Copies of this chain bind each other. A is one copy, B any other.
Amino acid sequence: MARPVKYDRDQVVDLATRQFWEDGFAACDVETLTRALGLNRHSLYKSFGGKAGLFHDALEHYLDLVTAPYLMLLERGAGLDDIVAYFDIATRPAKGDGPEAIAELDPRGCLIANTAVEIGRSDPEVAAIVDRYYDRVERGFAGLVMRGQASGSIRSDIDPDATARWLLLTSQGLSVSARMGRADPGLAAIVRAALAPPAHIPLSEKDCR
């Protein structure tokens, strides 16, 4: 009979997610990783497919855990208020327990954006995960924009797909900004103003002659 493992697989992946999120893939060495995870280095290779295999698992875990609330906003939201809420959450300091449990802006940024920059297309498997997430966020934003346009909360003269891409770029830009500890106050408000239908009509044009 085999010796029982000492580690909890889900906990290992969760801790690994945090390590890779903070350090990136290359700068996260196996010694530090296995110590932080409470994992034997042999098990890293035998049960998790090595450092790269664990990294893939961590990416998937990040998508499941960290991005889920954002995706819910995109996929279940009704219109402009949800887009604004998305950027409100993305730009405000996190509180309490959980992956963003810090008192100030999370300098880790977004693990997906960090991975895009660090690894890009040099690892096809990683690239596929990143692409899948980006496609999903883009579709989510596009759907949200279309629903907002249908309900009148978002101006109807903008292309939903192009708008979705811009909003995705904005969120990825926020990740870069966070790595530098830069704050982006007023982003949600400016996004609201940019996407809202025209509300103010110049008085001279409203007056009857």
Interface size of A in residues (CB-CB distance below 8 Å): 55
Q: Is the CB of B206 within 8 A of A187?
A: no
Q: Is the CB of B193 within 8 A of A169?
A: no
The answer for the CA separation of A33 and B195 in the assembled complex, in Å, is: 47
* A30 located at the interface, meaning its Cβ lies under 8 Å from any Cβ of chain B in the complex: no
* A109 located at the interface, meaning its Cβ lies under 8 Å from any Cβ of chain B in the complex: yes
Cβ contacts under 8 Å, A174 to chain B: 169, 173
The answer for the CA separation of A57 and B184 in the assembled complex, in Å, is: 29
Which candidate, A6-14, A60-68, A73-81, A126-134, is the interface stretch facing chain B? A126-134
Q: Is the CB of B120 within 8 A of A179?
A: yes
Copies assembled: 2
Known contacts: A165-B187, A166-B187, A176-B117. The answer to whether A194 contacts B134 by CB under 8 A is no
Q: Is the CB of B180 within 8 A of A166?
A: no
* A113 located at the interface, meaning its Cβ lies under 8 Å from any Cβ of chain B in the complex: yes
Which candidate, A39-47, A95-103, A156-164, is the interface stretch facing chain B? A156-164
The answer for the CA separation of A127 and B179 in the assembled complex, in Å, is: 10
Nearest-neighbor residue (CB-CB) of A206 within chain B:
B205
* 9 closest Cβ pairs, A-B complex: A169-B173, A162-B186, A173-B173, A208-B208, A194-B194, A172-B173, A120-B179, A162-B190, A198-B198
* 9 new A-B contacts at CB < 8 Å, known A113-B176, A172-B176, A175-B176: A114-B117, A117-B176, A134-B182, A157-B200, A161-B186, A169-B169, A171-B173, A194-B194, A208-B208
